[in-house]
């Protein structure tokens, strides 16, 4: 199955591109690969992307909203992951990866296509954000960790980076289930809920089933 994932990924992306114009008038450029795949991810399609955020509070919300046991947040040092991933790509003859160390630009889309979708496939976990940010990326302060080789699991890609077992680079933060209600209440007061993270009627309606002050009415 692992060897078929690249073919499956290409087929799903092609189908999504062919149908997307029915749902939006604003189409990404044909070669804006990370933007296309991020749209697939945000609308529920299977992709190689791992959702991440620069906000610990947003991460806590997503960890807790449906938790029925202890849950956790994985904190990854993005500059470290980028530097180590770029080194691994360069060692495999893909020195173009060094262009990703510059501030995000439209050129990153072209570079990403050559790194991630052309052989040789390299074990890595590289932080990437589309050049054009959609609404959810902005409101969630979101980015992605992207595995370089999808024939293996994400943790196998991450473990290929030197220093992955160093707590300065990768940390697991456990959130006890008993704190869920209190934490969601506090996050709601900070305007962090599905209502704000998923702008629109669907996000607002879904937020009512996670936490709302009416669940904990005032004592009077």
Q: Tens of pLDDT along 31-86?
A: 999 999 999 999 999 999 999 999 999 999 999 999 999 999 999 999 999 999 99
CA dist., res. 179 & res. 184, Å (int)? 8
Residue 20 resides in a domain: no
Residue 150 resides in a domain: yes
User: 146: closest CA among 79, 96, 85, 57?
Assistant: 85
Q: In terms of residue numbers, what domain contains 120? A: 48-204
Crossing angle for the helix pair 5-20 and 33-42, nearest 10 degrees? Answer: 80
Interval 130-150 mean pLDDT = 95
CA dist., res. 53 & res. 129, Å (int)? 11
Instruction: Give the E-state strand segments of 15-133 in sequence order.
Output: 50-53, 71-76, 125-128
H-only helix segments in 33-75? 33-42, 56-64
The neighbour count for residue 121, using CB atoms within 10 Å, is 18
Residue 167 resides in a domain: yes
Q: Which pLDDT score, from 0 to 100, does residue 38 have?
A: 96
Q: Which pLDDT score, from 0 to 100, does residue 218 have?
A: 56
Q: Please, which pLDDT band fits residue 215 given cuts at 50, 70 and 90?
A: confident
Domain count for the chain: 1
Residue 121 resides in a domain: yes
Q: Which pLDDT score, from 0 to 100, does residue 1 have?
A: 54
CA dist., res. 17 & res. 10, Å (int)? 11
Q: Which pLDDT score, from 0 to 100, does residue 219 have?
A: 54
Q: Please, which pLDDT band fits residue 217 given cuts at 50, 70 and 90?
A: low
CA dist., res. 121 & res. 118, Å (int)? 7
For residue 103, what are the β-bridge partners?
Answer: none
Residue 35 resides in a domain: no
Contact 156, 164 (CB under 8 A): no
Residue 168 resides in a domain: yes
Residue 211 resides in a domain: no
Contact 89, 44 (CB under 8 A): no
User: 207: closest CA among 69, 68, 61?
Assistant: 61
Q: Please, which pLDDT band fits residue 214 given cuts at 50, 70 and 90?
A: confident
Q: Which pLDDT score, from 0 to 100, does residue 212 have?
A: 84
Residue 19 resides in a domain: no
pLDDT digits (tens, 9 = 90+) for 72-127: 999 999 999 999 999 999 999 999 999 999 999 999 999 999 999 999 999 999 99
Cis amide leading into 166 (omega within 30): no
């Amino acid at each position: 199955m692992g060897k078929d994932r690249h073919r499956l990924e290409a087929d799903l992306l092609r189908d999504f591109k062919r149908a997307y114009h029915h749902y939006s008038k604003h189409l990404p450029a044909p070669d804006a690969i990370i933007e296309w795949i991020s749209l697939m991810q945000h609308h529920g399609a299977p992709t190689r992307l791992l959702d991440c955020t620069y906000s610990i509070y947003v991460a806590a919300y997503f960890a807790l909203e449906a938790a029925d046991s202890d849950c956790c947040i994985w904190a990854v040092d993005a500059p470290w992951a980028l530097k180590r991933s770029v080194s691994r790509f360069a060692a495999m003859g893909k020195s173009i990866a060094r262009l990703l160390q510059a501030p995000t630009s439209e050129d990153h889309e072209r570079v990403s296509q050559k790194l991630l979708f052309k052989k040789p496939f390299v074990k890595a976990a590289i932080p990437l954000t589309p050049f054009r940010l959609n609404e959810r990326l902005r409101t969630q302060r979101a980015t992605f960790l992207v595995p370089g080789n999808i024939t293996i699991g994400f943790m196998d890609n991450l473990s290929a980076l030197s220093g992955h077992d160093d707590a300065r680079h990768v940390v697991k933060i456990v959130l006890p289930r008993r704190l869920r209600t209190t934490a969601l209440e506090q996050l709601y007061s900070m305007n962090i809920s599905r209502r704000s993270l998923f702008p629109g009627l669907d996000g607002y309606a879904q937020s009512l089933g996670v936490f709302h002050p009416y669940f904990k009415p005032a004592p009077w």
